[in-house]
Homo-oligomer: A and B are copies of this chain.
Amino acid sequence: MKIRLKKVTIVAESLLRPQLLKLLSAQGATGHTITLAEGSGSRGVRASEWEGRNIQIDTIVDQATADALMREIAARFFDHFAVIAYASDVEVLRGEKFVPGSPS
C-alpha cells in the first residue's frame, strides 16, 4: 500500500505563482503545498529583509509527471527568472490521492 512517487519542489518569485500553478495543473498535478520563502541564488537574487517574497511549491506526482514538470519549468523559466526546481523520492500511503484516475 506504500508507493513511491516523486516530490517536485519549485522555488520562485511570488509573482510567478499563477503561471506555475497553471503549469502544475496542466501537467496533471492533483495538489500542492505552498510555503513562503526567501532565497538567494546564482542569479544574485536576495531579499535583504524578511519579505517572504519567494514561494516554495511542493507537489507530489508520478515519475512521468515529475519529468515533464521539470522539463517545462526549465524550458519556460530558467533563462529569465530566478527559479529552481528539483525532484526527490517520497513514499506515500494511498497514492491515489496524487495520481488522477489511479486505482493504486
Write the residues of chain A forming the contact surface with B, with a CB cutoff of 8 angstroms: 2, 5, 7, 9, 11, 30-42, 50, 54, 56, 60, 70-71, 73-74, 78, 84-94, 97-98
Q: Are B33's CB and A54's CB within 8 A? A: yes
Interchain CB contact under 8 A, B33 and A86? no
- With beta carbons under 8 angstroms apart, the residue of B2, B5, B37, B85 that contacts A34 is B37
> Provided the pairs A74-B94, A91-B86, A93-B74 are in contact, do residues A34 and B30 lie with their beta carbons within 8 angstroms?
no
Q: Is the CB of B41 within 8 A of A30?
A: yes
Task: Enumerate 26 A-B pairs (CB-CB under 8 Å) in ascending A order.
Answer: A2-B70, A11-B33, A30-B42, A31-B39, A31-B41, A32-B39, A32-B41, A33-B39, A33-B56, A34-B37, A35-B36, A36-B36, A36-B50, A60-B84, A70-B91, A70-B93, A71-B93, A73-B93, A74-B93, A78-B93, A78-B94, A84-B97, A86-B91, A87-B92, A88-B90, A88-B91
